[in-house]
A = this chain, B = another copy of it.
Amino acid sequence: MNDPTAARPDAEQRARDWWRSAIIDMQPGVIRYRGYAIEDLIRQHTSLAQMIWLLTRGELPSRAQAALLEAALMAAVDHGPQAPSVAIARMAATCGVGLNSAMASGLNVLGDVHGGAGEQALALYEQVATRLDAGMAMADAVREALAEQVRQHGKTIPGFGHRFHPVDPRTAPLLERVDEAAAAGEVTGRFAAIGRTIEDALAAGGPRRIPMNIDGVTAVIYGELGFPAPLARGLFCLSRSVGLLAHAWEQTQQGGRIKGPLPKAWTPSYDGPAARAVPGGANAPPQAQGK
C-alpha cells in the first residue's frame, strides 16, 4: 500500500491520486486485490466467480454464494447469432480486426435495450423490496411497484415474457438453484418471492401467463446476492462475452471476408427517390434544394 506520509513531490501525488483505486495495490513483485495477495488467492483455489465478486464488491463471498452467482453467469452466455451483439462479433471477425475488437464490437451494443433488461428487472425488484422494508405486504408492494413501472416505462415489464420462447428454459432450473441456496440459508429467498409474485400478478392482469425470462431470473439471483441493479448489466456483459468469443472464434474458423448481414449479392431494398439529375449545369455548383 502506498504510504501517504512518504515525501513525494505534491504534483506527482496529485497525478497518482487522480487514478486512485481500492481494487488493486501494486508494488514491484506485489499484486493484492482488495488486500489479498494474488498468490494466496491462486493457492486457495479462489474461483472466477469469487474473484468477480471480490473485485466489484470488496469482499470474498462464500463458496455457496459464488456458486449461485456462477450459475447465473453460466446460464446467460449465449443466445445465438440472430442477436445483434453476436452477429456483430461474427461480422467483425471477418473484417481484419483482432478477437478483442470483435468481442468489444458486440459487447458495445449491450445497451439499455439489448442488454439492460436484467438491470431494469432488478431495479423493479428493488422497488418492491423497498416497499416490503416499509412494512407493506408482498401483494400490495408488487401491485404498487408494477403500477409505477408501467407509468414510468410502459407496459413491457423487464424480465418477463420472451419474443421467441413461450417458456424460457433457463428460468426453472435457475430458480431451483435459488431455492436450494435459500433452503441452505445462503440467501433469504426474498427476491425469488418478489419475482414469482410479479409473475403471478402479470398473469392475473391478462389473458395468458407472461413467464419470467433469463433476465428476470438472473435479476432474482443478483438481488439475492446483494448486487445493485447497475452491476446486473455488468455481470450480464461478462456472461455474454463468452458467447461473443465463441461466435467470433467459430466465424474465424468458418472463414469469410467482410461478412455482411445478407448472403453475397443480395442487396438491400431501396425505397428512396428515383434516379435524378444533380441540379446545375455541368461543373456548376448545385443549386439549393434543402431550404
Closest chain-B Cβ to A288's Cβ sits at a distance in Å of: 3
Contact B79 A105 (CB under 8 A): no
User: 0/1 per residue, A72-86, Cβ < 8 Å to B?
Assistant: 011101111111110
Contact B56 A262 (CB under 8 A): no
Which of B19, B36, B250 interacts with A23 by CB under 8 Å? Answer: B250
Tell whether A237 pairs with B19 under 8 Å between CB atoms, given A269-B13, A286-B63: no
User: 0/1 per residue, A211-254, Cβ < 8 Å to B?
Assistant: 00000000000000110001101110110011101111110100
Contact A262 B82 (CB under 8 A): yes
Q: Is A53 an interface residue (CB 8 A)?
A: yes
- Residue of chain B at shortest CB distance from A111: B96
- Cβ–Cβ < 8 Å partners of A40 in chain B: 277-278
Q: How far is the CA of A67 from the CA of B234 in the complex (A)?
A: 24
- Cβ–Cβ < 8 Å partners of A250 in chain B: 21-23
User: 0/1 per residue, A174-211, Cβ < 8 Å to B?
Assistant: 10110000000000000000000000000000000000
Q: How far is the CA of A158 from the CA of B43 in the complex (A)?
A: 25
- Residue of chain B at shortest CB distance from A20: B269
- Residue of chain B at shortest CB distance from A19: B268
Q: Is A139 an interface residue (CB 8 A)?
A: no
Contact A95 B80 (CB under 8 A): no
- Cβ–Cβ < 8 Å partners of A267 in chain B: 2, 16, 26-27, 80, 82
Contact B99 A230 (CB under 8 A): yes
- Cβ–Cβ < 8 Å partners of A85 in chain B: 95
- Cβ–Cβ < 8 Å partners of A287 in chain B: 62
Tell whether A169 pairs with B31 under 8 Å between CB atoms, given A9-B10, A80-B24, A270-B25: yes
Tell whether A35 pairs with B101 under 8 Å between CB atoms, given A81-B268, A112-B96: no
Contact A22 B273 (CB under 8 A): yes
Which of B47, B107, B272 interacts with A74 by CB under 8 Å? Answer: B47
Contact A109 B92 (CB under 8 A): yes
Q: Is A131 an interface residue (CB 8 A)?
A: no
Closest chain-B Cβ to A139's Cβ sits at a distance in Å of: 28
Q: Is A138 an interface residue (CB 8 A)?
A: no
Contact B258 A84 (CB under 8 A): yes
Contact A70 B47 (CB under 8 A): yes
Q: Is A88 an interface residue (CB 8 A)?
A: yes
Select the residue from A43, A70, A78, A268 with max chain B CB neighbours within 10 A: A268
Q: How far is the CA of A157 from the CA of B169 in the complex (A)?
A: 48
8 smallest A-B Cβ distances: which pairs? A62-B288, A22-B272, A96-B113, A96-B111, A96-B112, A61-B290, A35-B273, A11-B12
Q: What are 8 A-B interface contacts by the 8 Å CB criterion?
A: A1-B272, A2-B269, A35-B275, A38-B170, A55-B78, A82-B266, A96-B112, A163-B264
